Amino acid sequence: MVGPARPQIVLFGSSIVQYSYSNGGWGAILADIYARKADIILRGYIGWNSRRALQVIHQVFPKDAAVQPSLVIVYFGGNDSMGPHSSGLGPHVPLLEYIENMRKVAIHLKISFSNMHWNSIGVHSNTQLFVSQSLSENIRVVFLSCPPLNEQKLRETSSGYFSELVRSNELCRKYSEACIELCGELDLKVVDLFSAIQKKDDWMNSCFTDGVHLSSEGSKIVAAEILKVLKEADWQPSLHWKSLPTEFGDDSLYDLVAANGVDTINPSEWTFHREGKWD
């Protein structure tokens, strides 16, 4: 690990996460905002669904790791919500299983049962066998719900390389609502992307690159919603970027010299290079 130690924020999910580092994506936005505050770590990849999440979660978030993340931002649902393929293959996960899988992810990351009955949050017996304790009491979790999509644009950009992809806004809505309801049960923070994106004028054309994956405009909405949650969360310590200390923020004789030729100018809090101003 590169020092000095500072908070780690892990992005865990599917292509909405991996592509967030490209072309003005929301992951890249967060990496810029937190450049001198925390490390933004990518652990989300194209094609992953909630089943894949459970396959890899102990590798991505091992319980015996010396350093645990301060925050995990979780996104699964877009691939799960695809219609089933006749072969039984593919990323589709039935809604009830998706809910249970996301519950298991939440339990592994955050929920402690030392003073809580399993049944009080609707945990099924197979979940009890999956995991018995969370990574750390100090880890914070934010879930992102399934965003909407532009069905027409998706049909226009679909490749013949793949078998027919069954996606619809109605399926996205159902999985989004299920994620939001589960987070309410578990008292976890959640961003309602399905609603947030549709608030923008001309969202179908402006927020996507191919009807599914987010454009820079769509990513700005995601980043703003995440920052809003972090600012409003009653967490100690706060993980909002303005509340975190600036790394190596002390004055230095090696900073740029001011116009008076005597003083130096500390650039550690400069943000003027950003196109947008983030709250």
Residue 155: the pLDDT is 80
Cα(15)–Cα(32) distance, rounded to whole angstroms?
Answer: 20
Residue 154: the pLDDT is 84
Residue 130: the pLDDT is 46
Residue 117: the pLDDT is 40
CATH 3.90.550.10 correct for 8-114+133-157+165-250: no
Cα(235)–Cα(12) distance, rounded to whole angstroms?
Answer: 21
Q: Is the N-terminal amide bond of 237 cis, ω within 30° of 0?
A: yes
3-state secondary structure 147-189: CCCCHHHHHHHCCCCCCCCCCCHHHHHHHHHHHHHHHHHHCCE
In single-letter form, the type of residue at position 18 comes to Q
DSSP tag of 74? E
Buried b (16+ CB within 10 A) or exposed e, 214-253: bbbbbbbbbbbbbbebbeeeeeeeebbbeebeeeeeeeee
Q: Record the pTM.
A: 0.90
- Residue ranges per domain, the chain? 8-114+133-157+165-250
Nearest Cα neighbor of 44 from 66, 62, 28, 20 is 20
Residues 82, 72: contact at Cβ < 8 Å?
A: no
Q: Which stretches in the chain have pLDDT values below 50?
A: 112-121, 125, 128-132
Q: Which residues are catalytic?
A: 14, 210, 213
Residue 160: the pLDDT is 55
Kind and range of the H or E element at 13?
Answer: strand 8-13
Q: Are strands 71-75 and 140-144 parallel, antiparallel or unpaired?
A: parallel
